[in-house]
Structure 1
Amino acid sequence: MDETPETAPGGRNGQNGQGDESGRAGRHPHHAREGRWTRFRKGPWWPASVLVVILAAAAGLFAGSYTYTMANPTPHQLPTAVVGSYEEARGKEFLAGLGKALNSSVRTHAYDSRAEAMEAIEEQSVFAVFELSDDGRKVLLDLSSASGASVAELLEQAAPAVGRATGVAVSVRDVNPLQDGDPRGLAIFYVSLAAVIIGFVGAIQLSVHARALTPLERIAFTVAYSLLGGFVIAAAVDWLLGALDLPFVESWSILALTMFASGMTFTMFNTLFGRWAMLPTWGVMILLGNPSSGGAVSWPLLPSALGVIGQWLPPGASVNAQHTAVYFAGHQHAFPFLVLAGWALVSCAVFWIWRHRHPGGRDKKPPELAPPADA
């Protein structure tokens, strides 16, 4: 009687059965755990788990960075101008009392005339002018809310209190007030924030939905949405809402340059770090750049290091340029434009030099469209 392969002692099933049993019996637990870890790393749960940790850390850092810089603003250096009888005994007593009340943060710069001091306000070198008269018994405090609403509010509260304590009559007036539609001086911060966020979100969307763009086309479309987006932001804030009376062409140019610099910064990081490009972009633009921009809290009230660093990042440069354009016409500085242009040019250069590393382009097919290896 012929034995079938299924029942033969030396048949395939018998051998495999014994081999499987012996293999399972002899398999070390370490190898089993290693196999589970490998499957986990190659499966969809691994990137999802990494994202859970990253998002939790980002939430804490986001809340911490904004709370650290904005929740309790403390004066570190308040540059002010003094003219008149500031060398008289009563004047010295008042200025010393003001410095003590503000933790010695007031830095006074003497000017020969009131006109020179007011020019320093226009140049944003000082935030207020103390004009002392009658041998230091009277003080006229000229504030500039447009220079920094939070600083002006601080001086407006501190100076009269010190005057009462030292027997000095203090009068306060605002020589450069904020616009009616922007009573807290935050509108410029909001429009700059919009330009920064939409700038890099636009680059993200191009990477997702227009993956096949060539490097030159990617730069061109970044320019296109920056120009159109900057125009719409300025039109909405000025023409539609009337919150700010903008010097339209200049403000539009600043917003467009901000969006382009932000978008190309993400493109640069996408070239260098691939799918993790959002991490450095979020860190530079949101965690560090926006709180230290001086838009929500004036730079003299920020921690010293952040006040300096923020001016070299796109959000701070955008706020500075826009703030000067709106409130200090004719006194625009080149520095914030150089910062924005520098970020844009460096990002474009890095992207262009290492463009072969960028995940987009027409010569690169998504994994699901790639031909099988056997073909």
Structure 2
Amino acid sequence: MNTPVTATPDKLAQRRTFAGVMIMPLFMLIALPLAFIGLFHSPSPNHMNIAVIDSSPASTGIQSGLSSSVGEQFDVTLQPNASSAREALANLDIRGAYDPSTGELFTAGAGNVQASAAVQQVFAPIAQSQGIDLTVVDTNPLPSGDSVGSGLLYLGVGSIFGGFLTATVVAIAVPGLARKWQVTTITVMSLVAAAVQVFYGWKLFGMFEGQAIPAFFTLFGIAVVCGLVNLGGIGLIGPAMIPISLLIFMMLGIPASGLAIPLDLAPSFYGAIHPFLPTSSGFDALKRIVYFDGHGIAGNFVTLGIWALIGAALIWWGSHRDSKPTENVWSDPELDEAVVATGAAVAVG
């Protein structure tokens, strides 16, 4: 007769540790490819805003004909003159504007080189049919230190990790640290992270010119918001907050920022979530500050401010809730350390 085997407390703890640790890689291998493949797979224009400058009798006909032929890929409007077209480009309201009287195509390369290329493909045949040469005028060119426009993305990622990893360490590796010192540590490390990124972008790679100070405060804002939200969440639900933070800040926030692939070349889902996420809003503000003189950044900073308040509320809630211990998988210190170590390794890798 077989005797049932009773699991010892050590074996139960070992199983809980294994199950907890496996949550992180399983989550990453499922969610990360889905988020990024959805973005990078076959990018194509999706209601990309372009314009025809109303500079000749042919302008209205070109605009209406183009609207009929491009379908939902492009939204074609009229701009009254070249000056208004330049202003719309600076606000990132349009991707390009064609002047039928001169054959000039105004674009903003710093907005995104892929979008600018898509606009050129639309208007090149029109200029050819008019018998004139298409002349591309880049109103906001990328600097030589960031010729493909991806540098700001990596600087932003550095700031995310500056806040996110600091919060993870102070919340779990140093659990006895007073809350005010946890917040202070996150603030100081966010300042350091922002300073390092600005040094890279301004001095080392020449991506900034006169925008180093506003870029610094934007990168600091990204870092400290990520840190506060992650700290508050860990205080409430333990290391289970780590994959949630990675989902919000990295897996959704980065694709929805428009820096890797412009939102008007991506599925509509990314554009829909863009205004609501802290990192997508912060990255967009960074691009607008560095390359477009800060046009249209108010909404981005409102979003960052709301997420900062969310982080503060989570920290307050965790500090004032009932501290009675509960029996759950996250209450094991051995499990906490294992999950954090796995999460940090996966995130950095």
TM-score, normalization by structure 2 = 0.84
Tell me, what secondary structure is at the counterpart of 2:256?
A: coil
Tell me, what secondary structure is at the counterpart of 1:184?
A: coil
1:107 to 30, 54, 75: 75
1:152 to 116, 129, 138: 116
Contact 2:186 2:227 (C-alpha < 8 Å) held by counterparts: yes
Following TM superposition, by how much is the alpha carbon of 1:154 offset from its aligned partner in structure 2, in angstroms?
Answer: 1.3
The code of the aligned residue for 1:92 comes to G
Cα RMSD (Å): 2.9
Q: How much identity, in percent, do the aligned residues show?
A: 21
1:215 lines up with 2:179 in the alignment: yes
1:351 lines up with 2:319 in the alignment: no
- Counterparts of 2:333 and 2:39 in 1: how far apart (Å)? 44
The code of the aligned residue for 1:112 comes to P
- Counterparts of 1:94 and 1:81 in 2: how far apart (Å)? 8
Decide whether aligned partners of structure 1 residues 330 and 198 sit closer, same or farther in structure 2, where only a CA change above 3 A counts: closer
Contact 1:99 1:105 (C-alpha < 8 Å) held by counterparts: no
Decide whether aligned partners of structure 1 residues 308 and 95 sit closer, same or farther in structure 2, where only a CA change above 3 A counts: same
- Counterparts of 2:290 and 2:71 in 1: how far apart (Å)? 32
Gaps of 5+ in 1: 1-24, 360-365, 369-375
Matches within 5 A, 1:80-119: 80-84=50-54, 88=58, 92-93=61-62, 96-97=65-66, 100=69, 102-119=70-87
Contact 2:44 2:265 (C-alpha < 8 Å) held by counterparts: yes
The code of the aligned residue for 1:75 comes to P
Decide whether aligned partners of structure 1 residues 277 and 236 sit closer, same or farther in structure 2, where only a CA change above 3 A counts: same
Tell me, what secondary structure is at the counterpart of 1:292?
A: helix
- Counterparts of 2:289 and 2:93 in 1: how far apart (Å)? 16
2:17 to 47, 51, 54: 47
After the TM superposition, which segments of 4 or more aligned residues of structure 1 sit over 6 Å from their partners? 165-168
Segment of structure 1 superposing worse, 305-314 or 175-184:
305-314
Following TM superposition, by how much is the alpha carbon of 1:339 offset from its aligned partner in structure 2, in angstroms?
Answer: 0.9
Bigger radius of gyration, 1 or 2? 1
1:245 to 200, 205, 209: 209
**Deviation readout 1:110-142 (Å, 9 max, x if unpaired):** 232221221111222112112122xxxx64211
1:127 to 71, 89, 95: 95
Tell me, what secondary structure is at the counterpart of 2:44?
A: coil
Segment of structure 1 superposing worse, 104-113 or 121-130:
104-113
Instruction: Tell me what 1:293 maps to.
Output: 257
- Counterparts of 1:346 and 1:332 in 2: how far apart (Å)? 23
Contact 2:263 2:271 (C-alpha < 8 Å) held by counterparts: yes
Matches within 5 A, 1:63-74: 63-74=33-44
Contact 1:264 1:347 (C-alpha < 8 Å) held by counterparts: yes
- Counterparts of 1:316 and 1:99 in 2: how far apart (Å)? 33
The code of the aligned residue for 1:270 comes to I
- Counterparts of 2:161 and 2:68 in 1: how far apart (Å)? 39
Tell me, what secondary structure is at the counterpart of 1:62?
A: helix
1:268 lines up with 2:232 in the alignment: yes
The code of the aligned residue for 1:351 comes to I
Gaps of 5+ in 2: 324-331, 335-349
Count the aligned residue pairs: 327
- Counterparts of 1:352 and 1:287 in 2: how far apart (Å)? 27
- Counterparts of 2:92 and 2:288 in 1: how far apart (Å)? 9
- Counterparts of 1:106 and 1:178 in 2: how far apart (Å)? 24
Following TM superposition, by how much is the alpha carbon of 1:276 offset from its aligned partner in structure 2, in angstroms?
Answer: 1.1
Following TM superposition, by how much is the alpha carbon of 1:336 offset from its aligned partner in structure 2, in angstroms?
Answer: 0.8
Contact 1:98 1:162 (C-alpha < 8 Å) held by counterparts: no
Following TM superposition, by how much is the alpha carbon of 1:158 offset from its aligned partner in structure 2, in angstroms?
Answer: 3.3
Contact 1:73 1:301 (C-alpha < 8 Å) held by counterparts: yes
Contact 2:50 2:119 (C-alpha < 8 Å) held by counterparts: no
Decide whether aligned partners of structure 1 residues 85 and 66 sit closer, same or farther in structure 2, where only a CA change above 3 A counts: same
Tell me, what secondary structure is at the counterpart of 2:86?
A: helix
Instruction: Tell me what 2:299 maps to.
Output: 335
Decide whether aligned partners of structure 1 residues 26 and 175 sit closer, same or farther in structure 2, where only a CA change above 3 A counts: closer
Decide whether aligned partners of structure 1 residues 152 and 241 sit closer, same or farther in structure 2, where only a CA change above 3 A counts: same
TM-score, normalization by structure 1 = 0.78
Following TM superposition, by how much is the alpha carbon of 1:81 offset from its aligned partner in structure 2, in angstroms?
Answer: 2.6
Following TM superposition, by how much is the alpha carbon of 1:66 offset from its aligned partner in structure 2, in angstroms?
Answer: 0.7
Contact 1:131 1:141 (C-alpha < 8 Å) held by counterparts: yes
